[in-house]
Amino acid sequence: IVSVYGGPHVQRVNNSWSQNADMRAQRLRSLGFCVVKCDNRGGSRRGRLFELEVKGDMGNKEVEDQVDCVDHVTRVLKVGDAKRVGIVGWSYGGYMAAMCLSKEPNVFHAAVSGAPVTTWRAYDTHYTERYMGLPAENKEGYERSSVMNHSHNIKGSLMLVHGMVDENVHFGHTTRLINKLVEDMIPYELLLFPTERHSPRGTKGRAYMEERIGDFFMKNVKKREVGGGKGIFGGFLGG
C-alpha cells in the first residue's frame, strides 16, 4: 500500500525518528500489508528546482515518481507484489490517489481517495495559483491536472471518503468526480461523514473510517472476504 501525500512544499520521509506514530500505516501493516511512503518531485527540502518541477502541471510528475517508487520496491527490492498495489491519501494525497488510479491503471489496483481535490479550478486561489498560475493563462495545465479528465481510464477499485461540511476541500470536489464516474459507468464506493469537516475528528468516526479502509484493501488488494466481526477497533469502540 502506497501511503501518499505528494503535495508541494511538504516532506514526509525523513532520516530521523519521530515521537508520533502513523496509526493508519501501523494498522495496515497489522493486516499484512507493506506500507510505502515516497516524496515525489515538488516536495520540500530538496531545493527550489525540485519544487518547481510541478509548477503549472500538478498531478503528473508526482504520479510518475510514485510509479517509480512502486517499481523500485517490487522489482529492485523484491518486496510486495506488483500485481496487488493499493494507494491511500488524504487532501492532496486523496487527489494523488485518484490520479494514480486514473493515470496508471496497470500499476495501481485499488485506491482510497480521502477529501480529494478533483479540479484545481475549484480549490482556493491563494494555494492553487501559487503553483498553477491563473486559469486563464494556463488552461491546458488546469485541464491536464483535473482528475475528471483521466478517470475514464480507471480499471481498479476506488473508495471516495469525504466529510460533507469540509471547509477546506469542499464536498463538491467529490460530487464532480462521482458525476464523471457515473457518466463513464465506472463503479466506486463512497464513505461519507455528514457532520465532519476535512477529516473525522471523533474517536468513533476515526475508528470507523480506518475499519472501512482496512476492509476495502483486504477485499480489493488481498482479495479476502471481510466483515462479520468488530475488527481490531471493536474493544476500542466499547463493543
Q: Which residues are catalytic?
A: 91, 166, 198
The one-character DSSP state at 21 is -
- The contacts found for 120-127 with CB under 8 angstroms, 24 or more apart, are 120/58, 120/145, 120/146, 121/146, 122/170, 122/172, 122/173, 122/176, 123/169, 123/173
Q: Is 193 helix (H, G, I), strand (E, B) or coil?
A: strand
Q: Which helix (H) or strand (E) holds 159?
A: strand 157-163
Distance CA 75, CA 56 (A): 32
Specify whether the backbone of 238 is left (phi greater than 0), alpha (psi in -120 to 50) or beta: left
Cα–Cα distance list, 110 to 120, 147, 155, 209 (Å): 23, 16, 9, 17
Cβ neighbours around 10 below 10 Å, total: 14
Contact (CB, 8 A) for 112 and 33: no
Nearest Cα residue to 94 out of 164, 169, 37:
169
Nearest Cα residue to 74 out of 84, 64, 65:
84
